[in-house]
Amino acid sequence: MLQHVVDSCLQLGASKMAIVYGHGGELVQDAIIKNNIHWVLQVDQKGTGHAVAQAEAVIKDDMTVLIAYGDVPLIKAETLKLLAEKLEDSVLSVLTTYMDNPFGYGRIVRDESGKILSIVEEKDATDEQRKIQEINTGFIAAKGSDLKRWLKKIKPNNKQGEYYLTDCIALAVSEGGTVEAAVCDDPLEVQGVNNRIQQAELERAYQAIKVEDLMLAGVTLLDPARIDIRGSVSAGKDVSIDVNSIFIGDVVLGDNVTIESGCVIKDSQVGANTIIKANSNIDSSIIGESCDVGPFARIRPETVVNAKAKIGNFVETKKSTIGIGSKVSHLSYIGDTQMGADVNIGAGTITCNYDGANKFQTIIGDNVFVGSDTQLIAPVNLAKGTVIGAGSTITKDTPEGELTLSRSKQITIKGWIRPTKNTSNKNNKENS
């Protein structure tokens, strides 16, 4: 949540950014992308005014200071810019919105002419004040010199015994200053997260924004309510995405890509005219143009599938290159492999790339044909045009254009009698 707020603030071109933190501070710092942020520790939790006061050392008198909240992930840079611009006609600007049910939020108190007088918190409000639907979001902007002066005057005169940042509004008015409101039209944009229910609500709202962007870009979503974008998706023309697909990190989809239902794609590129069939998992890999992947394929990190290749059902790849037009159609594992063009890998083939301590590479040349149920014991090199007979275990390099196989001699045991079930014990038990 905090990273979303940080990203929006960075779009304003701020010269400095400070984050006030408390509980779990080291974990928070580790989770945030470093952008020359000043980290300020609030040892004692004494309210929002006290929190801002901890950052006084980084606030210069001539600065425009914008204060944002780290649990409001949907805040937009455009809204923050509007808040800052309101300072042109005021000494302090506050971001507000209107809610049908404002329970729990501080109310904006105005006089008869509509001028802002103060903000009163829910727990300190009168019954009449609780009827006010314009609420304080917590976001304010002010000049550094004014803000520091007000912070010194704030008193913990409330039921919580805390230093409320919102008291700055009343202090500004008492000095004869004008307080302006920047009104946010969408309450969801400024909603904070205090529990898992609110978190889930904002996640759905965030997903709706992402989905709308995709559809406006021309992507067909078979059900916009059943897709999760946990990062960014860039899509070309005529892309189609079926239900229950999840996109994580940075995903790039080329023109005319089809994603069937239940796929998970993370930090990967999918080339034009490729189809990713149902329930496939692609992680940190590159899929070329006009490929056919799945269903139930697992493409693990550092896989490169070149154009017109096929990765079939229940195939797993890892740290491998699949050549142009090559096929790994079903029930196979290809790991630590460099595969040439127009290779055919039979069902049940695996590359045995790990000896329990170290991993080794398999090299497969162009136009190699590997029969079903074959084990390739790395390190091994299958030369161009090699044909591997089904059921083989290959431990040595193969010569170009030759048939290579390994298998035990088939024998028939004459007179062998097939075992039958012993029913005498069962009959004895039933009769006893």
Report, as residue numbers or ranges, the catalytic residues: 330
Dihedral angle over CA of 143, 145, 151, 153, nearest 10: -120
For residue 58, which amino acid is it?
Answer: V
Q: Which two tokens stand for residue 391?
A: 């059921």
Task: Kindly report the backbone phi and psi dihedral angles of residue 359, in degrees, each rounded to the nearest multiple of 5, phi listed first.
Answer: -110, 145
Rounded Cα distance between 265 and 192, Å, is 30
DSSP alpha helix (H) spans, 191-238: 196-216
**What burial class does residue 127 get, using C-beta atoms within 10 Å of its C-beta: 0-12 exposed, 13-18 middle, 19+ buried?**
exposed
Rounded Cα distance between 285 and 302, Å, is 5
Q: Which two tokens stand for residue 409?
A: 């001699």
* Beta pairing class for 304-305 and 321-322: parallel
Token look-up 């239940």 returns 262
For residue 93, which amino acid is it?
Answer: S
Which residues are within 8 A (CB) of 259 and not within 5 positions of it... i.e. 6 or more apart?
A: 239, 240, 241, 242, 245, 253, 265, 270, 276
Which residues are within 8 A (CB) of 51 and not within 5 positions of it... i.e. 6 or more apart?
A: 20, 42, 45, 165
Rounded Cα distance between 269 and 285, Å, is 7
Q: Which of 103, 95, 60 is nearest to 76 (CA)?
A: 95
Half-sphere exposure of 27 (CA within 13 A, CB side): 3
Rounded Cα distance between 170 and 179, Å, is 9
Rounded Cα distance between 94 and 165, Å, is 11
Radius of gyration of the chain (CA): 32
Task: Kindly report the backbone phi and psi dihedral angles of residue 142, in degrees, each rounded to the nearest multiple of 5, phi listed first.
Answer: -160, 165
Dihedral angle over CA of 82, 88, 92, 93, nearest 10: -20
Task: Kindly report the backbone phi and psi dihedral angles of residue 85, in degrees, each rounded to the nearest multiple of 5, phi listed first.
Answer: -65, -25
**What burial class does residue 131 get, using C-beta atoms within 10 Å of its C-beta: 0-12 exposed, 13-18 middle, 19+ buried?**
exposed
